[in-house]
Amino acid sequence: MGFADQRFNVNLSILFTELPLLERPAAAAAAGFTAVELWWPWIDTPTPEQSELDALKKAIEDAGVRLTGLNFYAGKLPGPDRGALSIPGEESERFRANIDVAVDFADSLGCKALNALYGNRVEGVDPAEQDALALENLLLAARAAHRIGAIVLIEALNKPESPLCPLVSAPAAVGVVDKVNEATGLGNAKFLMDLYHLSMNGEDLPAVIERYTAKTGHVQIADNPGRGAPGTGSLPLEDLLDQLRKAGYDGWVGLEYKPGDQPSAESFAWLPREARAAR
């Protein structure tokens, strides 16, 4: 087993960012990949013009790649203000306005996984109030995703880079997954296991894999330190992905790393070209 046995997709919101958005799907295809994922591309609006949605859809289709993951609106990513669904007021309203837009766009491309990022803690607001709002919005998202046969992903970030985010451990994120599934009865909330974020939190990654693989709907990777490509840090990513497969995970592994000073296309030297196309 090893990297060649995984199903990788490329996150076009962190890789190929040296190119305009509409050129990135073709660039991923030229690099040998057949699947991509995206953070919500329109950071300033949860409801872009239909022409913008259509243009991105066409770019993905023309490139011949699959969209396998999409974030709901989450504010300005990357950045310290990531997340929206648990922030009272305008951000929460933006998240709600985005739900059907994101779900319909995902459905138009056959995408069956949508990531819903929790929001930061807000000074002067009771954390319990934020958590209640988050659950309310996640239930709306889960029900909307269910109508297209999709899952909603809930991710743990890391405390050093997101100190105000309350979901900075695998147990915290999985706890929210369980609450959503218990409330809806749909079972379509899943854990997004980002090995970089979990390693930044100092978690025991083999133990996390053993305990939570069954509740995991998507995996993302980057090396640590540095959030670079596999091999640029010290994480045993090949071994960890092997453990995930042995534990029963056969889903997508998102490449969500920074390419560094080189062009994104040159950051894939660690992965043989024949292993980039999903089988």
127-153 pLDDT, tens digit each: 999 999 999 999 999 999 999 999 999
Q: How many helices (H) and strands (E) does the chain have?
A: 8, 8
Say which DSSP state 209 is in: H
pLDDT digits (tens, 9 = 90+) for 15-45: 999 999 999 999 999 999 999 999 999 999 9
Confidence of residue 1 (pLDDT cuts 50, 70, 90): low
Whether 256 has a pLDDT exceeding 90, the answer reads: yes
pLDDT digits (tens, 9 = 90+) for 116-133: 999 999 999 999 999 999
Residue range of the domain that includes 29: 3-275
Confidence of residue 66 (pLDDT cuts 50, 70, 90): very high
Q: For residue 236, what are its two tokens?
A: 């045993």
Mean per-residue pLDDT, 230-245: 97
Q: Which residues of 134-147 are buried (b: 16+ CB within 10 A; e: fewer)?
A: bbebbbbbbebbbe
Q: For the residues 245-271, what does the mean pLDDT come to?
A: 97
Indicate if the alpha-carbon torsion angle 184, 186, 187, 189 is positive or negative: negative
Which pLDDT score, from 0 to 100, does residue 278 have? 86
Tell me what pLDDT residue 81 has.
65
Interval 161-217: pLDDT, tens: 999 999 999 999 999 999 999 999 999 999 999 999 999 999 999 999 999 999 999
Helix, strand, or coil here: 128? helix
Q: Rounded to 5 degrees, what are φ and ψ at 84? A: -150, -30
DSSP 29-61: HHTT--EEEES-S-TT-SS--HHHHHHHHHHHH
Can you tell me the mean pLDDT for 45-59?
98
CA separation for the pair 93, 174 (Å, rounded): 25
Residue 4 has pLDDT above 90, yes or no: no
CATH of the domain at 251: 3.20.20.150
Handedness of CA 64, 66, 72, 77 (dihedral sign): negative
Domain count, the chain: 1
| Residues labelled as active-site residues | 155, 256
Global pTM?
0.97
Residue 5 has pLDDT above 90, yes or no: no
